């Protein structure tokens, strides 16, 4: 148990952060975190080491969180992913609108409390189809394949959703962090 407790100490913040960002509800995030570690404890012998322990845990947490999201939407039988698969195409991706160099580098920005709030708020505005993909791929560092597997999506669909999420976040962040004096107007951006 000591070894498992050590693993819990190491990964509990990542699991809780993922759950809270997916669900945006503290109690649900706590339930999912607890369920994740209990399931991991029970299924430890099934962990084969094909993925890292962190990836395995994040997968368990993602499944538990998606279950909560589906329940909220009354989609117990229809898969959220399948139901929306065909709408994810490259040709409908919105073009960037607010284009400007940022006033500061990410290294300077990352420690600012205001910026952390901005990042969380922008994440929260992504919809339930795009937020999980961005969180697993870019925040947690899973590969596209691992992200697709965790979410039950095709890799192609995962990539399109990832692009949409990244572009939406770029748009929102640049509106706040961009330097208006260095804004490039979109009219020139269409050839």
Partner 1 sequence: MKCAELLAALNEYVDGTVDPAICEEFEQHMAGCNPCQVVVDNLRQTITLYKGGKPIELPAPFRLRLHAALRQHWKKTHRPKG
Instruction: Name the minimum Å distance from CB 21 to partner 1.
Output: 8
In the bound state with partner 1, the residue whose beta carbon lies nearer, of 38 and 83, is 38
CB nearer to partner 1: give 41 or 83: 41
By beta-carbon proximity to partner 1, the closer residue of 33 and 55 is 33
Cα angle 132-32-19, degrees, rounded to a multiple of 5 = 30
Sign of CA dihedral 59, 111, 131, 38: positive
x-or-dash string of contact with partner 1, 113-132, rule CB under 8 A: --xx--x---x---------
Identify which of residues 76 and 86 has a Cβ nearer to partner 1 in the complex: 86
Token pair 């322990």: residue: 53
Q: Which of 24, 70, 103, 170 binds partner 1 (CB under 8 A)?
A: 170
Return the residues of window 51-90 that contact partner 1 according to CB under 8 A: 90
* Interatomic CA distance for residues 33 and 68, integer angstroms: 12
Q: Cα separation of 86 and 176, whole Å? A: 33
CB 11 within 8 A of CB 54: yes
The helix/strand count (H/E) of the chain reads as 9, 2
Handedness of CA 175, 180, 182, 188 (dihedral sign): positive
22, 33, 58, 66: which one contacts partner 1 (CB under 8 A)? 33
By CB under 8 A, residue 41 contacts partner 1:
yes
Give the C-alpha separation, 73 to 63, whole Å. Answer: 15
Instruction: Tell whether the torsion through CA atoms of 72, 76, 82 and 84 is positive or negative.
Output: negative
Closest separation in Å from C-beta 4 to partner 1: 7
- What is the CB neighbour count within 10 angstroms for residue 180? 9
Of 53, 103, 166, 176, the one binding partner 1 (CB under 8 A) is 166
Site residues (CB under 8 A) for partner 1? 1, 4-5, 8, 12-14, 16-17, 20-21, 26, 30, 33-34, 37-38, 41-42, 90-91, 93, 95-96, 99-102, 105-107, 109-110, 115-116, 119, 123, 134, 138-139, 141, 159, 162-163, 166-167, 169-170, 173-174, 178, 184, 186, 188-191
């Amino acid at each position: 148990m000591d070894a498992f407790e050590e693993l819990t100490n190491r990964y509990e913040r990542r699991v809780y952060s993922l759950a809270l960002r997916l669900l945006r509800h503290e109690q649900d995030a706590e339930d999912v975190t607890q369920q994740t570690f209990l399931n991991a404890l029970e299924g430890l012998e099934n962990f084969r080491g094909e993925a890292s322990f962190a990836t395995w845990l994040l997968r368990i947490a993602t499944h538990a969180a998606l279950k909560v999201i589906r329940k909220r939407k009354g989609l117990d039988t229809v898969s959220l992913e399948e139901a929306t698969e065909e709408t994810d195409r490259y040709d409908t991706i919105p073009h960037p609108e607010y284009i400007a160099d940022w006033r500061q580098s990410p290294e300077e920005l990352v420690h600012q409390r205001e910026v952390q709030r901005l990042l969380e708020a922008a994440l929260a505005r992504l919809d339930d189809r795009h937020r999980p993909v961005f969180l697993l791929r870019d925040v947690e560092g899973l590969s596209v394949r691992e992200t697709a597997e965790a979410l039950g999506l095709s890799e192609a669909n995962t990539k399109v959703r990832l692009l949409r999420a990244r572009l939406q976040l770029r748009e929102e962040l640049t509106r706040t962090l961009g330097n208006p004096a260095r804004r490039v107007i979109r009219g020139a951006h269409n050839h």
